[in-house]
């Protein structure tokens, strides 16, 4: 069982933590994944995906979106960021299949403001594949949902 959350300590620490349980939720251990110091409430979100025996998590920190394969607490963890310049990236969503991972996020959204949707497919090694894109038209207060398709591709809803 996994949980991602953003801390709020000392008015400036908004770090991402992973909680993991290996006993079906009876006990949990925690680990810091990503630091962020900002004196504000960033209104951020996280997401999970599962493919086979692997679990993935996605989150936003400092206007950039990240994802990573989740292992046990204490195992090495290397967050992968979306390529290109971060342009107010928020609300990451993730889907995975047997060899690829799709990371989807919003850009330019904010309080009462819509924006655009962007996506990038990554190969099994976490390297960007050639499938990427962007589309305008995400309404205020909205974000995407994504799932793997039965043919090995992905479906994105928004």
For the chain, give every domain's residue range. 42-157
Burial group, residue 50, by CB count within 10 angstroms (0-12, 13-18, 19+): middle
For residue 13, how far is the Cα from the chain centroid?
19
pLDDT band at 76 (very low <50, low <70, confident <90, very high): low
Which pTM value belongs to this model? 0.89
Q: Which residues contact 135 (CB under 8 A, 6 or more apart)?
A: 116, 117, 118
d(CA 58, CA 72): 16
d(CA 123, CA 129): 6
In 3D space, the residue among 93, 94, 98, 92 whose CA is nearest the CA of residue 151 turns out to be: 98
User: What average pLDDT does the segment 64-81 reach?
Assistant: 81
Q: With the C-alpha atoms ordered 133, 138, 141, 143, is the resulting torsion angle positive or negative?
A: negative
pLDDT band at 1 (very low <50, low <70, confident <90, very high): confident
Query: Which tops the pLDDT comparison, 78 or 90?
Result: 90
Report whether pLDDT(87) > 90. no
- For the chain, how far is it from start to end, CA to CA, in angstroms? 27
- At 11 the pLDDT is 85
- Torsion over CA of 109, 117, 6 and 154, rounded to 10 degrees? 160
């Amino acid at each position: 069982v996994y949980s991602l959350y953003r801390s709020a300590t000392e008015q400036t620490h908004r770090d991402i933590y992973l909680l993991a349980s290996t006993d079906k939720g009876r006990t949990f251990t925690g680990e810091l994944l990503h630091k962020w110091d900002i004196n504000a409430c960033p209104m951020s979100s996280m997401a999970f995906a599962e493919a086979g025996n692997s679990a993935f998590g996605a989150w936003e920190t400092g206007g950039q979106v990240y994802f990573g394969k989740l292992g046990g607490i204490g195992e090495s963890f290397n967050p992968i960021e979306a390529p290109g310049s971060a342009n107010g990236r928020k609300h990451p969503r993730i889907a995975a299949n047997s060899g690829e991972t799709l990371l989807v996020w919003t850009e330019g959204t904010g309080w009462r403001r819509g924006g655009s949707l962007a996506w990038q497919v990554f190969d099994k090694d976490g390297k960007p594949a050639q499938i990427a894109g962007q589309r305008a038209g995400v309404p205020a207060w909205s974000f995407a949902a994504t799932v793997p398709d039965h043919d090995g591709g992905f479906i994105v809803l928004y």
